[in-house]
A = this chain, B = another copy of it.
Amino acid sequence: MQGLMMDVPLSITSVMRHAERNHAEREVIALTADGGLKRQTYTETFRRARRLANALARLGLAPGDRGATLAWNDSRHMELYYAVSCAGYVLHTLNPRLPPRQIAWIAHHAGDRCLFADPEFAPLVAAITPQLPELRTVIFLADPRGMPVSGPENALCYEQLLEPESEHFDWPALDERSASSLCYTSGTTGDPKGVLYSHRSTVLHAMAANMADVMGTRSTDCVLPVVPMFHVNAWGTPYFAPMAGAKLVLPGRRAGDPATLCDLIDGEQVTLSLGVPTVWLALLQYLEQTGRRLPGLARVVVGGSACPEAIIDAFRDRHGIEVHHAWGMTETSPLGSFNTPRAGDERLPETDRRQRRASQGRAVFGIELRIVGDDGREQARDGRSCGALQARGPFVASAYYAPDGLVTAQHREWFDTGDVAAIDAAGYMRITDRTKDVIKSGGEWISSIELENLAVAHPAIAEAAVIAAQHERWGERPLLIVVRERGCTAQRDEILQFLAGRVPGWWLPDDVIFVEGIPHTATGKIDKRALRREYAEVLRQRPSADPLLSMR
């Protein structure tokens, strides 16, 4: 028997309508390229989105066509977020930090029909457009004076495009499962993969984000996403902020500069901000150096990579700012887990509390997380057992986008995150490794990341990498590769001794290799593939002490 409730779709259009009806005068503030602040209300923002929707129709876009952006966080990008998706097209946010060749590959793969770009990306646009025959129109996000001198011929000016259009536009009724936006994830292996969000997934993700124990956004909040709008929709900020009626501050291209960030947070009374650890580290250092304070900033959300505990502690103890650790991926929209203290945590011993605080938090409602072993069976939620982390839910990707409706790499009931994690009885999840880096030894999993973190705590070690070396008896055994601090001469046994008390005996690396430097990937991570190519075989023929003997 079916329920008798209205069949009203979950659409991004409904977020816009809600903000217009209930938060009309709240502001969207953008830092412009010249350092000024552009202020407009949600009403004005969505009025401009209507003009843009009329313009998009005039440009000849058909339902489902991809409209791409190469843009920083600002109010025109916000207008695109709503006009493109709510008019029935698909917003494709390109990452301008990728190599031009990769951007062209992605734009071609996505079949982008038009491209909206900040003027500063004119050289990049000029470089990629020749490779994009299906791209019909380039529009620079500028007024006539701000148009770039170079750039493709026939490029249009955003403000001129909007100028003649009507502020009235009848947003179409959309199927909630229709595509709203597209974001490519560039893994370390293979081609980039496109995640195609739906209106439904986007709205549910924003609702989940606004719950009190997650972002907890209120109409009295002022939100500043440092995370770029081309990076998984700025973690949902362009949707959850208007849904809650929060003021939105968009830092343009200057978000990486701590002085600018500090000015914006202070000047606009930002209460909630989101970004990667490096941003917060830089801001903390700036605050220390200048003695400035940010009394209005209440919450900082950290994601993208693990956040050092020192950052969490410094924000809380020295600035009264609560840091929430979040975990997610492009494929999870991205909010997968979020760290907020749970009832009863305050009664735990300090070490357990710290461990929970430093963890990636608990699954947000809408996401189910589990860990599975090599045999695909779910592992115990005891905080110690590790397994491959899997996710499912209405805002988790089911497949990657492929042209012509071909679907690649269908995820079945669960999505494999590629992370290795432990989950405790209270649901706190701790990422311990990447699946491809974890060391599988005698049926047990050893975390390369934990060994590396312990190793660099040795005063003689400047950098450390742990890889899985092949082993005849144990399958794999950990191999520690280290760069010594200048002038230090610590030897193998001293380093293993140092680790011995701190990890289970069978985790102890079989050997230590001293190198002058460790290779890194383009994004600054340790290049473990290169290390494995070089060192994976060094242990194979070597006998090793029975590591399981020392487990007792």
> Interface on A for B, CB 8 Å cutoff?
1-10, 14-15, 17-18, 21-26, 63-64, 90, 175, 177-180, 195-201, 204, 207-208, 210-213, 215-221, 243-247, 340-344, 362-363, 365-366, 368-369, 381, 392-401, 407, 411, 415, 425-427
Q: List 5 A-B contacts (CB under 8 A).
A: A4-B407, A5-B395, A6-B392, A210-B212, A212-B216
Q: Is the CB of B21 within 8 A of A368?
A: yes
Residue numbers in B under 8 Å from A201 (CB-CB):
3, 5
Q: Is the CB of B363 within 8 A of A4?
A: no
Residue numbers in B under 8 Å from A177 (CB-CB):
2-3, 5
Oligomer: number of copies: 2
Question: Contacts A18-B368, A343-B26: A3 and B244 contacting too (C-beta < 8 A)?
Answer: no
Tell me the bound Cα distance from A399 to B196 in angstroms.
34
Q: Is the CB of A22 within 8 A of B245?
A: no
Residue numbers in B under 8 Å from A3 (CB-CB):
177-180, 196-201
Chain B nearest CB from A393 CB (Å) reads 5
Question: Contacts A3-B198, A198-B5, A219-B340: A17 and B368 contacting too (C-beta < 8 A)?
Answer: yes
Q: Is the CB of B219 within 8 A of A213?
A: yes
Q: Is the CB of A394 within 8 A of B213?
A: no
Residue numbers in B under 8 Å from A199 (CB-CB):
3
Tell me the bound Cα distance from A212 to B415 in angstroms.
29
Q: Is the CB of B4 within 8 A of A195?
A: yes
Chain B nearest CB from A423 CB (Å) reads 8
Chain B nearest CB from A196 CB (Å) reads 4
Kindly identify which residue among B2, B220, B246, B363 contacts A18, using a CB–CB cutoff of 8 Å: B363
Tell me the bound Cα distance from A395 to B216 in angstroms.
22
Q: Is the CB of B64 within 8 A of A1?
A: yes
Residue numbers in B under 8 Å from A392 (CB-CB):
6, 8
Residue numbers in B under 8 Å from A369 (CB-CB):
21
Q: Is the CB of B210 within 8 A of A415?
A: no
Q: Is the CB of B381 within 8 A of A6?
A: no
Q: Is the CB of B22 within 8 A of A363?
A: yes
